Structure 1
């Protein structure tokens, strides 16, 4: 009997390791669902927010798109301090900065030997300056990443449009990628061809933007010299333009494009806000926006800096819509970021941190309708570890997460993150809260479809002891790596549009009915007066001294009837018109903000504006607001 017991115990001891192993067998992780990001694309999206800097000759000549004819002697920032820039970015939570090393005017912020139109021929540091170097060094000192913007378009170079210019462009790119350390992104502007001076002759040069720049050559060079860098352009391949310069992505936002379809200057660019659900290439969206109306510094915009409320709203609609936020700082003529810009950027970061600081789910109980195994349980949803995630079994594309609180809790924010190294999956979800015995949907002003890297949802405050996230449909089994619920007291203030402060002399528009006329002088961005033809005349009623013309283009989704280049004429009561200025509204397609034309004061009763060219060749002009002073 004793022997029998001994053998029985021995059998148990021998078998125990095998029993333990069989009970802890590793459950196989979900297979990736294509397309999936490269590791560098995941690291790039984790940055979330980073800075843009537009600085150059345009800064000193009050331009957005210089023609390449500005006097080099005008470039002389007397207090330039790249460390002040970077310290601002650090305090504002930015993880890196992209510098416009060369904008469309062709002026180079580094002392290249490839052109005389560069910083070594300016008064700055007696020609010994190198702002690309100074900013790169400051980034290293304060521990943020550095990147470069190099405009493919060049309105200064006389050989633009020829094969020789393309070689010149790649020599510039090689210098930037070889001499300034590691860069996290290379930014190629989609605005990359058109009219300019081109060595002194103002003309339009037509290029094929799909082929002229030979972008595959750029990709090879970047892969060789800066393999960790993500390449930006309208269609990537590393990250894509979001299709607007207002700083937001669509609530539905896929990180996919169809390979080879989108190119710089792509005419259906508004689609880029949403990506393509059937795309076969991972190209997540980047939301570029300026903290001021313009991209370069203009002193009259010192009181037009985006407020903390506006910036916070953009964070939710960019990072919170599966994109990154690239916030531009127009450095001033003294070489410093203006205090108003710095203050609002820092306070915006503090606001976001405060709103998302207290995850109410950290102490809640989270139950799932199903899970893949213990390695993929709901514990991963609030552990703060990026590479752990809750997952469902293969083929399970709908499931519920029910979050229970110990007592009724106020909630008006929700954060969901998918584990994107395995692909973007969720196609639709619903957020509900328990009221009595009923589940009710939260009241939200946007569709709940895609998630991706991060989805931040704002909704009317509810008080409840249970919240449920129902994943309705997905491309494959679910992989969710973070979940958060928050409460933010109060509501964001509404901001006044720029036109609210526009002061204009009284006027009528000749030939325009009073009802239609009211739409362009009511100080409402949402109403637009459409003029047939390509010119219109303002009648001030009597001769008055004027010196400024204002024009806010149509602010509708498709921005109809945008004036690209113009001719402005005035006349007295005799109606004999005299041209006083011509020019362009730079970048108006992508940034349709309030436009201003300043001229020498003149007495006039009539002001005539002729659209020499409209953006899409329309035979009509859209005026959300217009005026003269």
Structure 2
């Protein structure tokens, strides 16, 4: 295939039609390059996730597939309220969890009775996929679906027959609800479930069981414009965490065929593969609350507007997209706290990046390709025009001069990604009062740019600022630059504070004193590791308790994560055998947030937490913080 056939149409148009000097050719594309649908997807920048289903009502994150559908009866469900909220929060689309791991379907899929038609909602005549798709059309949002490959309810999960069932669900969602911009396949699959009404553990071959090539054929035949999400793409990739940020260094590449659902080196996905040969940009997923589904006890733990602003700069501003989850509540509405914080966050971003100080200006550049690829293209607010250097020039300076000193603390840079991602390193400098160039002060490395790079730096007042690109994979192609003054928010620190966990006093039995201190020092970055599979807590005397809480290890990659547990109490150290709760810490591998276990109030002195299964066998248990209430 000729290279020209791989270049998106917008690149071809820009390269050969808009050129005022036909003899000046556009830079050659540097592989890998995106498909046009991937460019369009990245331009969305921010869109929403909606997690809603039986888990909303049974207070779980990962349902086992054993919950009676009759508990699903949202009294005030209003998908238009969801859509209106998302539009006000600046979202360009929404992805709905049509089926989560528990197997419950939010549409009347005839292949199972574990669906919305067997609930009291609208007397069994509801279809929430339809309701949200219609609301999106009305309010101008793009629509997409999440379909869990894992199914903890279906009796034939793990067999070839299940695949026909899963493919039928996929075809129905892709055929009956209009155009979708993305299809989301979760990397979590295989394990405990209530398969066909009996508790069981099903293991699968994560790489091959689902026959993803067949799935891609189905998608391309029905919705070819849809971007496919999975840990390794092929349309877009998981960013390797569920905290909503990409690395400051973030390549839109992966090595083809290397990353699969459940990929153990998932932390690599924050940065991409610099030597990758497939274009798979990062999607940064995060919930506005600690959990993905609604839990009433999290009403006071909604991310603040300032925390969301920080995530925007570290997702969209780090060459990714931001997928922000809204856990719809038991009434079927987005909670007003979530709504208010999301709208306020968007207003802050709009204000901070409102006035581009260099709009319409012509920069002084150290090299210019000529023709249509001139410096003024970087400030004309046209995505498909760009400044480029000659083929042999892989470095360059871009300098802006003002007639009077300007206050500056934000910068936006964009590469013209239809021709590939190029920049490997750059610096930003301002001119001091004596005319000397000094680096701006920021707290992250300046390496990659990609689709968009947003910088927050300490305020400078100057009549000159420049970007020095010091290393790249080929001639430079920069299509947009913005420089801003964020005003009163300019120098606010958006660091997320250490979570304060109130607790009754206790000691840890069998743990060295210095190690035990790490579990109560209120420092998320220190971890108490406990060998074996049992943690024993001594309250010193008998006390009434009703909950146990711990924050897992927060290092990267996380260590000592507990998958399944048994919590017991007792009044003597040798008789801690009254089990008060057992279960799993759902999704702890990908979302190691505060884990809370609630149980019927009981009087006890000793508490035992036994790990019945670890995420990684053989590791000691890791506790950044522990609390008992």
Normalized against structure 1, the TM-score is what?
0.95
* Contact 1:363–1:405 under 8 Å retained in 2: no
CA distances 1:516-559 after superposition (whole Å, capped 9, x unpaired): 22211122212211111111100000111111010110111221
- 2:564 counterpart SS class: strand
- What's 1:372 paired with? 369
How far does residue 24 in structure 1 lie from its aligned partner after superposition?
4.4
Selected match of 1:255 from 240, 252, 256: 252
Q: Distance in 2 between matches of 1:571 and 1:105?
A: 34
How far does residue 196 in structure 1 lie from its aligned partner after superposition?
1.0
Matches within 5 A, 1:301-316: 301-316=298-313
Selected match of 1:181 from 168, 178, 181: 178
Which runs of 5 or more residues in structure 1 are unaligned? 1-21
Matches within 5 A, 1:267-278: 267-278=264-275
Q: Distance in 1 between matches of 2:190 and 2:426?
A: 42
Q: For residues 24 and 497 of structure 1, do their structure 2 counterparts lie closer, same or farther at Cα, with a shift above 3 Å needed?
A: closer
- What's 1:539 paired with? 538
How far does residue 242 in structure 1 lie from its aligned partner after superposition?
0.3
- 2:499 counterpart SS class: helix
Q: Would you say 1:125 and 2:135 are equivalent positions?
A: no
Which runs of 5 or more residues in structure 2 are unaligned? 1-18
Q: Would you say 1:216 and 2:216 are equivalent positions?
A: no
Selected match of 1:441 from 439, 442, 445: 439
* Contact 1:499–1:625 under 8 Å retained in 2: no
* Contact 1:184–1:229 under 8 Å retained in 2: yes
* Contact 1:553–1:623 under 8 Å retained in 2: yes
Q: Distance in 2 between matches of 1:497 and 1:447?
A: 22
Q: CA RMSD in A?
A: 1.3
Q: Would you say 1:409 and 2:406 are equivalent positions?
A: yes
- 2:545 counterpart SS class: strand
- What's 1:482 paired with? 480
- What's 1:11 paired with? none
CA distances 1:35-71 after superposition (whole Å, capped 9, x unpaired): 1100000000000000000000000000000000011
Q: For residues 362 and 494 of structure 1, do their structure 2 counterparts lie closer, same or farther at Cα, with a shift above 3 Å needed?
A: closer
Q: Distance in 2 between matches of 1:23 and 1:248?
A: 40
Matches within 5 A, 1:80-229: 80-229=77-226
* Contact 2:359–2:381 under 8 Å retained in 1: no
- What's 2:583 paired with? 583
- What's 2:293 paired with? 296
Q: Distance in 2 between matches of 1:584 and 1:556?
A: 21
* Contact 1:364–1:405 under 8 Å retained in 2: no
- 1:381 counterpart SS class: helix
* Contact 1:62–1:298 under 8 Å retained in 2: yes
* Contact 2:362–2:375 under 8 Å retained in 1: no
How far does residue 382 in structure 1 lie from its aligned partner after superposition?
1.0
- 2:363 counterpart SS class: strand
Larger radius of gyration: 1
- 1:361 counterpart SS class: coil
Normalized against structure 2, the TM-score is what?
0.95
Q: Distance in 2 between matches of 1:472 and 1:69?
A: 58
* Contact 1:519–1:529 under 8 Å retained in 2: yes
How far does residue 475 in structure 1 lie from its aligned partner after superposition?
0.7
Which moves more between the two structures, 172-181 or 435-444?
435-444
How far does residue 284 in structure 1 lie from its aligned partner after superposition?
0.3
Q: Distance in 1 between matches of 2:469 and 2:178?
A: 44
Q: How many pairs are equivalent?
A: 607
- What's 2:527 paired with? 528
- Structure 1 outlier segments of 4+, above 6 Å: none
How far does residue 441 in structure 1 lie from its aligned partner after superposition?
1.1
Q: Distance in 1 between matches of 2:361 and 2:382?
A: 18
* Contact 1:330–1:337 under 8 Å retained in 2: yes
Q: Distance in 2 between matches of 1:143 and 1:541?
A: 60
* Contact 1:534–1:619 under 8 Å retained in 2: no
- What's 1:10 paired with? none
